[in-house]
Amino acid sequence: MINEIKLFPNPSQQNVNISWKSKLLNGFVELLDLNGQVTKSYKIQNAAQTRMDVSDMQNGVYYFKVYNDDFESVKPLIIVR
């Protein structure tokens, strides 16, 4: 099971690194806007980290959602230019 999600850097301008303690099997990482709409999504297969390019996103507050069938975690992210 995933215990702790880390996002860095936060605030971010270009790339956000997302990591968690144990490998996530058949999971997803999504970037959500304040309305809950998915703006980006990546499938995760047997990994404990990933990187997401946010350079094309507008300034603002977003949420990262990391999940699979057994787990879900949501963390805020600020994008600034």
Q: Which of 26, 11, 21, 76 is nearest to 49 (CA)?
A: 21
Q: What is the pTM of this model?
A: 0.87
pLDDT in tens, the chain (81 residues): 455 789 999 999 999 999 988 888 889 999 999 999 999 999 999 998 999 999 999 999 999 999 988 888 899 999 998
- Domains of the chain by start residue, with CATH: 5-79 (2.60.40.3080)
Kindly report, residue by residue over 16-35, the tens digit of the pLDDT.
999 988 888 889 999 999 99
Q: Say if residues 64 and 38 touch (Cβ distance below 8 Å).
A: no
Q: What is the DSSP letter of 58?
A: P
Return d(Cα 10, Cα 63) in angstroms, integer. Answer: 11
